[in-house]
Structure formats: C-alpha cells, structure tokens
Structure 1
C-alpha cells in the first residue's frame, strides 16, 4: 500500500503544474469575447446560475440556506452543472462525481442497488433543494440543474449528516421563457434511450410557466442476464403573481427495473466481466418512487424575505440476489453461493420554512436567517437469506430461484419498521465588514424521536436524542477575485436506536481564486475532520460495528475553468490520510479506513474547434481518473490496487441546435477489483460507448 507508481507522480505533477499555470497565466489567456454568465434572481432573493451555459458556478446554497457567492462561501464546494454532466455523459451520481476532489465512487463494483459515494472518507449525505430526506435509491441525474457537493460537516444547516460532506441536488424548475431539447441515445449492451426537457409560459405576462422532463431507457449491462430499464417523468408549474413572489409545484416519478449485480467472481480469479454467477431467475432489483415538491419564495421588499420547501416521497423497492459467498474447500472451480433478498418501503415528509433579514450599518452588512424544519420518516424492511446451490465457474449451470421460502436473515434486525420524527430550529448569521471581512456562523438544535419495531418479536426500541451542532467561519477577501477562509463545523447523525449518535467536527483552511476576466474557480484547502462514536455497517455481515474515533486529514486542489473561448478544464487532486484512533470493539487501532485512497486525481479537457465552411462546430473532450491503492476493510487485510481510467467525449454540430454526441467511458477497458476479498471479488465497470442525437431550441 505504500508503493507509489511513477505514473502517479507524473499525473499529479502534470495536473498541479497545469492548474498552477492556468491560474498564473489567466489574465493573459482571457479573451475579450468571453462573457460571464448572468446570475438569475428569483423570488426571495435566492440566486442561481444558468447551469446549462457554463461548467463554472458563481453562487451556491450548498454551505447553508443563505444564497452566497462561491467566492464568499467559507467551505470547499464543487458545483457540477448540467452542462458539465452533459459534456461528460454522466448519467449516475457516481459518474457525476468522478472528477471531484476528495470523493470515492463506485466502490462496490457491479453492485448497482444504490449510489455508492464517499466524501473525505465518509458516506455522503443527500439533500434535495436544500432539505434533507433521501430515499436511499439511485438518483436520476436528468432531473437536476446541478449538484452542489459540500465538503465537510454541515449539520448546523441541514441536519443529520456525516462530517465528510453532502450533496444538494437542485431540481429542474420551469423558466419564464420557451426552451427545450429532445434526444435519442444508443450504445453498447443494447442501450436504447430517449429523453426530453422542455417548457414555456402558459400566460402572456410570464406569470405562469411549466416544464416537462422525461427519460425512458431499455438496456442491458456488461454481464450476462442483466438489465437496466428505467422510466422517469417530471412535471412542474411555477406561478409568479408578482415580481416578489414565486410558487413552484413539481411532481416526479422514478421506476427502475434492474439487477443488483453479477453475483461476483471467486476471490483471486481473473474471469471475464460478462460471466454471470448469480441466478437469472432470482437476480432482480425494482424501484418505484413518487415525489411531490412545493417551493415558495416571497420578498417583502424591506430586507425581509420568506422561503419554504415541502416534499412528500413514497417509495417501494425490492431485490433478490444469488451471489458467491465463498470458494468451496479443496480447490477446483466450484464456488459456494447464498441467496439474499429484501423488500422495503419508505414514506417521507419534510417541510422547511425560514425568514431572512438583510440590513446594513455604516460599513457593516448583515444577513440573518431563522428557520424551522419538521421531518417524519416511516420505513419498513424485510430481509431473508439462505443457502444456494454451488456453481462451477468454468461451466456455470443455473439452478433457478429458491424452491422453498427463505428464512429471515441473521444480519441486523431482518424484519423491522422504523418511525423517525425530527423537529429542528436553526439560525444563520453573516456579518460583512468593509466588504472584505466576513464573519459567519450557525447553530441548530434537532429533537429526534426514533422508534424501531421488530416485526417478529414485537419488541420496540426507542431513543430521543437532542443534538446541537454549530458552525463558525472567517473569510477575508484580499481582492474581488481572491478570498481565504478558516472554518469550524460540526455534524451529528443517529446511527440507530441501540447506539449513541455519531458526532463529528472539521477544521478547514482554504483559498479561492475566481477571476473576473473569464469563468473559472480555483480552490485549495487543508482539512482535519474527526468522528467520534463511529458506527459502521460491515458490508460482509451488514451488522453495526462500533469503531470508536477516526480522523481524516487531507489536502484538496480543484479547478474548473473556461480559460479560452474554446478550451475548458476540470482538474482535481486530493491527498487523504485516515486513521482509526480508538478501536472500540475491533482491534483496528492505527489502521486506515476502508475505501479511502491516500492519493486521487483527475483531469478533463474540452477543446472546441470552430466551424469552417460547411463543417459544424466540433468539441473534443478527454479525461483521466486516478485512484491510489486503498484498503477494502478496516482490518487492512484486503486491498485494491492503484488504477487509472480514461474517458472521452465528442460533440459535433450537424446543424444549428442539432448535435451528435459520442461518449466513451473507460476507453482502454481497465480492469481491477473495486471491492472484494470477503468471498467474492467485484470488478470496476468496463468500457461503454454511447451515441446521442440531440435537438434543442
């Protein structure tokens, strides 16, 4: 694990050198015909960028509920706009975050049940439109204008979360103009997909607008007997009775029909990716989710504004899985398998309301926000398991689904209903002195009522913790383009009714450079985060295990820039060192956390070739993703090797507003074990190719 390959050194040196060169040379490289994006201002003073026009964001709500310039935000935030998602062909959360510093993605290989993402070494929290309440299913990226990745603790603003960070998904909303696109996509593994996103005003005075988004996909996967079908629809209406008031209602429906994975491959083997060692009649994964969102903003015109979000979600999901559990004793090509199945349902309602007041005295500007949130969540889950027939991986013969009912699993509480209610009050305050020094802070109290009912025994366990979390930061704007900050933030998350809540904190110091001459953002940060009373779910047993205290220290460098009229760059590098400080019930003191590579780096370049004669515009994109070697378990007995993967994209303008797009992921079909050592190995995703014909207006 301590060997550093030459290619890592070359990649990091090129990445850092290139980023530094861009930063130093930016004034000279800026072109006079490069224009900065206008910032859109909607009801309540909430500002968002036009994310379809640029890969660089200038405003964010990711660090708190106060809309703030990215330059003035005292935290590391990576904003992935819809333009960046489209350019790279990112269709999942994992693909979207592959070029973001400090993130680890897709660490369960072909397991596609959920979005598997870690930020700064910890599971990522999920936020949608500024309100927490994830449903635990894979998100559909086409539903969102952007994703704001906040690095570090943020419970003082959004509630329960790990100290590593959170993702705030920003839903597509109606616009007060006519717009739209339709597309059709085909690709490897019989991938067929169509989609549309369009809207317009319903009234001549722009007071009523609508938007309709859809995606329908029929596809297989790289392994046999796999499917990846999806239906997604989103519809929204926005009412603007006055310039100061906006009400939006959005409904979306997501349905997925897939498989949970290939069943894995025997540990230590190197078998074809397409080899399926599960059961064609039993490997299934279904998801159905309905979501209704209401968003309201009103500006009273005296420095006082009000905003509120409400969201109701109802989801059901199930999966069945036959997988390799162990290699049969005595050698040979026989593997032992297990059956594992689950069915779950979840109902969530969250409402968040806040008052914001802005005022000034002499050389001091003040922004104060006071809010309340109520979140109720009811979920049921039933898990069964049993022995499956052995399989010969050299000549697999499938036996079918289980012929007798499976028994309740021995992992955790296999049949339970959880009812959780959380009421919260929070305050945020920003004070800006002389337009240079910004003091910001926040405090939040969450009153939790957690209940779990064992549906077999009828036993009920409960907990009523109260968690107070805080945030404080100092930002100094050296110029209108450069700022530096020091911040402290806390996190808290209930691990369950039978264990104490996990608590974390983070110190961070950073510097940002956002030139006015052209769209760009360069950031550098150093951080140390600590999590106490840490409880982890062992991926092999699914049991909660108390680790104790862990620390993660690191450095992150990140750049997004449109440095020339025809050249844009996304670059990142992260160094992280994790340590289990207190071992709890496990003898892992001094070890590193699993799935946390010490080094990671990425680089994506887009180069546009202007049209000549009858030829249309051509944009070529190339990217590289490096992940250093890392451990697969906290005992540090299993590890994954360092790896580098390359991606590419090409966009050709057939005619005005009509493009042909080609995306290739993992060009050279790099293959390595992304997760394994516990009975089976799971490989990283292989090469995939898609072509898209897109018409916009």
Structure 2
C-alpha cells in the first residue's frame, strides 16, 4: 500500500523516528487528508479511495527543515522529487535569527546575495545566482523588489527560494530565480504568541499572532497577526516606523473543501537612506549628508487574498488563488553624487524623488488529476492565470542640490520643487495558460514537464510627452526535468528551464535558459536536508539605453556558471545548523559598443558562504533551558560596475542569538546582527560610498500559548 496526500498535495509521506534535542521523539506533523490505494496488475487506471488520518506535511513553526514545496511547480511536491534547487526559510528559522526584513531572512541561503546597496533602505535588495529576482505571494506575482514594497516577513509562514530560470511556474521572471512568500493562514487549533522588542536605534516593537476555532466542529477558524513599530535607523535624521495588521478566516464546510480569506494592511513611514558618504572617507555610519527636511519614504498597501481548494474524491482536485491590492508609495531625498578630487571638502549632491501607485487584481485557477497505471504514477495539472494592473509612476531628479561640506555640514532645507524626468500611466493585462506533467516510474524515476504561454497587453501613456504606446507580447516557456530516487533518502536530478521577462514597449523581451544537475539527501535518522547543484545560466537580449538615440534597445548576453551547496539539519546533541556555499563565475559574453566582453557582472561576488549554529542547553529545574546561536557570513570581492574598474574587498560578518526560557511558554531572546561591527563599502562607484549595515542589538520578551 502506498499513502499519498490529497486535496492537491499528492505527496508521499513517511513517518520517521528522529533524534532531536538529544532525545528520541516522533516527528509531529499536522493533520491532513491522506489517500490509500491498491494497485492491481492491470492496464486500467486506478481510482483512489480517500481516507483521513493524522500525519504528513511540514510544521514551519517548529522546524527549520522543510520537506515539501509548491515553488518547484504549482503542485505541492516533495523537495526530493523536485528537479530544481529550492531553499525554504521557515517561521522557526526566521524567529531563531531574529529576522527583521526580507534581506535578513535570505542572508543564509545558498545562491543569494544581499546588502549590496548598503544603507539605501528604499527597497529589498537581493540577487539570486547573479540576477535580480521577482517576488510572489502564494504563487501570485508581487513584482520586482527593486522599485517595489519591502515585505513584512512576520506575515509569512515560510519563504521559498526557487533558483534558476523557471517562468513555467509563476510566469514572467528573471533567470536567476524567484522568491515565494507563503501567507500565514488559520489553523484547526487554538494557538498564539505575543511579544515586545526593544533595542538599537530607539527600536520599540510589539507584535501578536493568534488564532482559534470559531465553531466546535472546526469548520470555521480565524487568525490575527499584527505588528506596531516605532524606531529610527542607524543614521541621524531617520525613522523606521511601521503598522501592520492581517486577519484571516478559513471555512471548511466538508473534509474536501477549504475557503480562506485574508485581509492585510501595511503602513510604513521611514526614510530612503543615509545619502551616502564621500568616497575615500571613513565616517561613522550615523553621519548624515542628505537633507533632514527632504528625507521621506512612505508605503500604504491594502490587500485581500482568497484561497480555495476542493477535492472531488476521484483523484481530481481544484485550486484557485486570487488577490486584490491597492498600494501607494513615495520617497524623496538628497544624496552625494560626486566627491571632489581637487582637495575640496564640498561634496556634490542631487535630489531624487518618486511617487507611485498601483491597483492590481490577479487570479490563478487550476485542476489537478492524479492516477496510476501499473508501475506509473501520473500527476497532471492544467491552469489559467489572469493579471490586471493599473499603475502610475512619477519620477523627479535634479543635479542642482546645494553641495555640502563634509567637515562642517550645513543643511539648506527642502527644495521648492524637483523637476520631473518621467511620468507614466500603465495598464497591463496578462493572460496565461499552463500545463504540468509528472510521471513516476516504479517509485524511482520521475519525469517532469512544464509548458506555459503568457499573453501580455500593455498600454503606456507618457504624460510628459503626451503620447500613448501599445504593445502585445506572447511568450512560450518550457522546462524539463528528470529525478531518480536511488533510495528513500537520496535523489539526483537534471533539468532544463527557460525564463522570459518583458523589458519595455518596442524592445525584445529578455530571455534566459538554465541547465542544472544536482543531488539531494534527506536522512531518515534525523530532520535534515543536504543539497548540491551545478548550473549554467544564460540571459539574452539585455536591455540598455542607446546614448545616440535615447531609446532602449535589446543587445548583449551574459552568463553565470556556478555551484550551490546547502545544508539544514536538526541533529543529536541538541545541535542544529544552516550552512551554505556558492561559487559564481559571471561573464559578459556580448555587450555591443560598450566593449565589456569578458568582464564580470557588477555586484556578483565569486564566492558566498554562511554558517548558522544553534545549541540547546537543557535546564536543571532551577535554571531554564537556554539556546545559543552563532552565525558567520562571508562574501568575496565584487565589482561596482560592468567595466570592472571599481570594487569592494572581501568581508566576513558575524551574527549571534541567545534565548532563555524564563518559564514554560515564556522566553527572553537577544539577537545581534554584525556582532563585531564589521564595516566595508557595500555600494559605490558613482561619487559616494554606502557602508554595509552596522551592529544592531535587539531584546525580545515572547509568550506563546
């Protein structure tokens, strides 16, 4: 007999004995619907009989090791059976490391680089395998982090990182990979936590996350999550305030049907950054060379998400996710745009501002059919997606900001106005159809095929020129993969995947393709996942602005070859770890008249490594349990420009954490980032230096129930 999950999560599950925290314990798994089936020796399809038992699935609040993902395909799949490199940052891992933002969450992930914009706090800055990465929420597109809204990680149960070109999963995306945020949903049980946090830069924060059943028969459940923060950043004349609230209801009219509705509100009142420091100087990070009266960054977003699934009980399931969001954001600041080389101490400055708004509706719906033919298990998924976005974007820039003497800074106040350089209204409608097929032969060999076509209709109005442009784009992408399960613990895979992302109207889309091979090992003896992969990634039709015409054009090709190694493990002797190593060799293969062929890509280090260790020390009745955490992040040198004329040096940064159990369900936690206050130039090359984030210490009192 083989046991698989139903309700769209048709995965093999295994109950295994784990050595955790120095004692023997059965891994606790949430309740889910499971399916048992017997295979007859005939060529006919087997109808699957549905039963309900306990077990199967991940518990992200209690483990750093995830076993399943939906980021490798729209189907919930065992990570060992997915022909791609996937990393999952669970809620427990985020809590252990004291994650404050998305960049913090991704810092210990193989193939991911962060912090390369230093103290520029406008957006989430990260790259995957050398390229910018698009973000998604519950499989629905959010957009590019650069220029987008910084997400609140406390809203999410986990963060899934899919590496490599793969537009067949979520749609248009860059070839390096994508990040999928999984929303916290109501549970079938009473649970909760509340916390208060204080620390560096006058940081004060309170938060809560709790839920329960509304009805005695578990058919209706709710969850409330929120955070209120009043804080500054690490430089003068700054603020980092936030209000976040999320509420959800889940209705289960039958064992086969689930409907979840989640509303969330995000309000941020901050600043865009410290404005940079003069090149070659070594000021404290707190020194501010912008303009206190022209220094703002605001975000206001409301979203409603609806998630529905139904199991027809015959191997056929239906799933639909939809989200409506209304958002606005802005920023304005002065930054150092040039450092003199004639002995003067007057740095040049520029004013930069932006005001944008967007209204988005996106829905994805698909049918999945699972069946078996003799020694072949088949999973077929067919779906459609529709995305309608209306947005406005106004940009302002001026080189005429008054200079500032860095030996005796005198602020001159906010400008009366800043000239606009861009003002656009954009309406974009995207319709897509996709199909995915998984065939498992004799429980060992798994063939994966994915095809997707996106039709994109764009209308863009240039308000400054008074012109409107329209465009239609149709793009087909594919992926193919083979996975072989040598044992229940060890698998190897090979894959080919494509990506596509539109650049702008009148320009050919940027396309990527990747070849990858890898191995994965998940021991039965204790919760752990070890992965290794080698890849060859190429991106064509790189878009640039022609200096002669002033118009964008597609030209060029870049390539990244690399190795990713990663381990997450909860071992004996009360020890757990997260370890990652990546080697990336980037190359500009073709660059037209720019003449950078053979150079490396900017902001792509050759080597990145990290290690986080957690040790649990059991109490003795008088002294409570304690947990000690220590992490280290290494990053090799990288260039600031594609000409490879300016660069930063190697760096290693340490982080630490400590938790003390005051009493049952109540803990005191201390988290320190950049423990030794390591300082280096993370971004520069244009007239200013931006340092990496400095040491920050936060203490938290947390109570759970």
What range describes the TM-score normalised by the shorter chain of this pair? over 0.9
Give the match's secondary structure for 2:26. Answer: coil
- 1:52-201 correspondence runs (5 A): 52-134=61-143, 136-201=148-213
Q: Aligned-pair distance for 1:207?
A: 0.2
Q: Aligned-pair distance for 1:31?
A: 5.8
Rounded Cα–Cα distance in structure 2 between residues aligned with 1:49 and 1:458: 53
Q: Aligned-pair distance for 1:440?
A: 0.6
Aligned to 1:461: 469
Matched, 1:598 2:606: yes
Q: Aligned-pair distance for 1:585?
A: 4.1
Please list every run of 5 or more consecutive structure 1 residues that lacks an aligned counterpart in the other structure.
Answer: 1-25
The partner residue of 2:404 within 391, 404, 410 is 391
Rounded Cα–Cα distance in structure 2 between residues aligned with 1:688 and 1:217: 16
Aligned to 1:4: none
Aligned to 2:415: 402
The partner residue of 2:221 within 196, 206, 209 is 209
Q: Aligned-pair distance for 1:94?
A: 0.5
The partner residue of 2:678 within 666, 670, 675 is 670
Report the TM-score when normalising by structure 1.
Answer: 0.93
Give the match's secondary structure for 1:183. Answer: strand
Aligned to 1:36: 27
Aligned to 1:248: 260
Q: Aligned-pair distance for 1:564?
A: 1.5
Q: Aligned-pair distance for 1:328?
A: 3.8
Give the match's secondary structure for 1:646. Answer: strand
Rounded Cα–Cα distance in structure 2 between residues aligned with 1:565 and 1:616: 18
Give the match's secondary structure for 1:667. Answer: coil
Aligned to 1:268: 280
- Give per-residue Cα distances to partners, 1:355-374, cap 9 Å, x unaligned: 00000010100000000000
- Give per-residue Cα distances to partners, 1:177-232, cap 9 Å, x unaligned: 00000000000110000000000000000000000000000001110001000000
Rounded Cα–Cα distance in structure 2 between residues aligned with 1:36 and 1:461: 57
Q: Aligned-pair distance for 1:545?
A: 7.3
Give the match's secondary structure for 1:589. Answer: coil
Matched, 1:344 2:352: no
Q: Aligned-pair distance for 1:41?
A: 3.0
1:520/1:559 contact within 8 Å kept: yes
Give the match's secondary structure for 1:96. Answer: helix
1:228/1:256 contact within 8 Å kept: yes
Rounded Cα–Cα distance in structure 1 between residues aligned with 2:415 and 2:94: 41
Aligned to 1:304: 316
Q: Aligned-pair distance for 1:48?
A: 4.7
Matched, 1:586 2:568: no
- With over 3 angstroms needed to count, the CA separation of the structure-2 counterparts of 1:585 and 1:378, relative to structure 1, is farther
Rounded Cα–Cα distance in structure 2 between residues aligned with 1:543 and 1:610: 65
Matched, 1:49 2:40: no
The partner residue of 2:504 within 485, 488, 496 is 496
Aligned residue-pair number: 664
- Give per-residue Cα distances to partners, 1:270-318, cap 9 Å, x unaligned: 1111100000000100000111000000000000000000001111011
2:507/2:552 contact within 8 Å kept: no
1:546/1:585 contact within 8 Å kept: no
- With over 3 angstroms needed to count, the CA separation of the structure-2 counterparts of 1:511 and 1:329, relative to structure 1, is closer
- Give per-residue Cα distances to partners, 1:306-353, cap 9 Å, x unaligned: 000000111101111101111246322110111111100011110000
2:188/2:221 contact within 8 Å kept: yes
Matched, 1:608 2:621: no
- With over 3 angstroms needed to count, the CA separation of the structure-2 counterparts of 1:159 and 1:29, relative to structure 1, is closer
Q: Aligned-pair distance for 1:142?
A: 0.2
Query: Larger deviation: 109-118 or 452-461?
Result: 452-461
2:21/2:574 contact within 8 Å kept: no
- Give per-residue Cα distances to partners, 1:430-475, cap 9 Å, x unaligned: 0000000000110000011122110122211222111000010000
- With over 3 angstroms needed to count, the CA separation of the structure-2 counterparts of 1:325 and 1:296, relative to structure 1, is same
Q: CA RMSD in A?
A: 2.0
Q: Aligned-pair distance for 1:258?
A: 0.5
- With over 3 angstroms needed to count, the CA separation of the structure-2 counterparts of 1:584 and 1:29, relative to structure 1, is same
- Give per-residue Cα distances to partners, 1:539-583, cap 9 Å, x unaligned: xxx996755111100011100000115110000000000001111
Aligned to 2:243: 231
Give the match's secondary structure for 2:307. Answer: strand
Q: Aligned-pair distance for 1:512?
A: 0.3
- With over 3 angstroms needed to count, the CA separation of the structure-2 counterparts of 1:536 and 1:437, relative to structure 1, is farther
- With over 3 angstroms needed to count, the CA separation of the structure-2 counterparts of 1:565 and 1:67, relative to structure 1, is farther
Give the match's secondary structure for 2:542. Answer: strand
The partner residue of 2:697 within 689, 694, 697 is 689
Q: Aligned-pair distance for 1:584?
A: 2.8
Aligned to 2:40: none
Q: Aligned-pair distance for 1:613?
A: 2.4
Please list every run of 5 or more consecutive structure 2 residues that lacks an aligned counterpart in the other structure.
Answer: 1-16, 36-49
- With over 3 angstroms needed to count, the CA separation of the structure-2 counterparts of 1:584 and 1:462, relative to structure 1, is farther
Matched, 1:367 2:390: no
Rounded Cα–Cα distance in structure 2 between residues aligned with 1:546 and 1:333: 41
